[in-house]
Copies of this chain bind each other. A is one copy, B any other.
Amino acid sequence: MDDMSNNERRRPKFKKVDKHSGIPAYVQVMNQVKTEIILGRLVPGDQLPPVRELETMFDVNVNTILKALDRLKSEGVLSSEQGVGYFVTSNIAIESPIIDELRGFVRKIKDVGLDLYTIILLIEEVWKNE
């Protein structure tokens, strides 16, 4: 059982951005935060770590953090209160049976020996032509 009361702050683990990936840092930050919410590891009401802490976790400048969070605010996923913090507002979590299905799929594909990058290209292609 989870001993955190509802809106108590969880401490998500974020990874440093990959500065050589060709993907802008602020996009990588957006992706990581959004993934936590989609997986239900952050739920509506949860507060994010302070921006200066995020700065360290992601290893990017505050302005880059703010740019990312600002985009997520525009998407309606986050809100912020000056002097207080950033909060998850929208429930975009995916149900776990779907995630399990996805896990099975990934395992199968990995067995074939394809790499992640190739798979993503193919899914985009197939998705757009169905």
| Contacts A22-B24, A24-B22, A35-B121 given; does A106 touch B126 at CB 8 Å | yes
User: What is the oligomeric copy number?
Assistant: 2
Residues of B contacting A84 with CB < 8 Å?
none
Complex contact A35–B94 (CB within 8 A): no
Residues of B contacting A126 with CB < 8 Å?
99, 102-103, 106
Contact with B along A99-122 (1 / 0, CB 8 A): 101110111111010101011111
The number of chain A residues touching the other chain, given as a range, is 35 or more
Q: Bound complex: CA of A102 vs CA of B123, how far in Å? A: 7
Tell whether A125 is near chain B: CB-to-CB under 8 Å: yes
Q: Bound complex: CA of A124 vs CA of B124, how far in Å? A: 13
Tell whether A130 is near chain B: CB-to-CB under 8 Å: yes
Tell whether A57 is near chain B: CB-to-CB under 8 Å: no
Q: Which of B92, B99, B125 is the one whose CB lies under 8 Å from A35?
A: B125
Complex contact A121–B34 (CB within 8 A): yes
- Interface residues in A70-103 (C-beta closer than 8 Å to B): 92, 94, 98-99, 101-103
**Can you name the residue of chain B whose Cβ is closest to the Cβ of A106?**
B126
Most buried by B among A92, A120, A127: A127
Complex contact B112–A127 (CB within 8 A): no
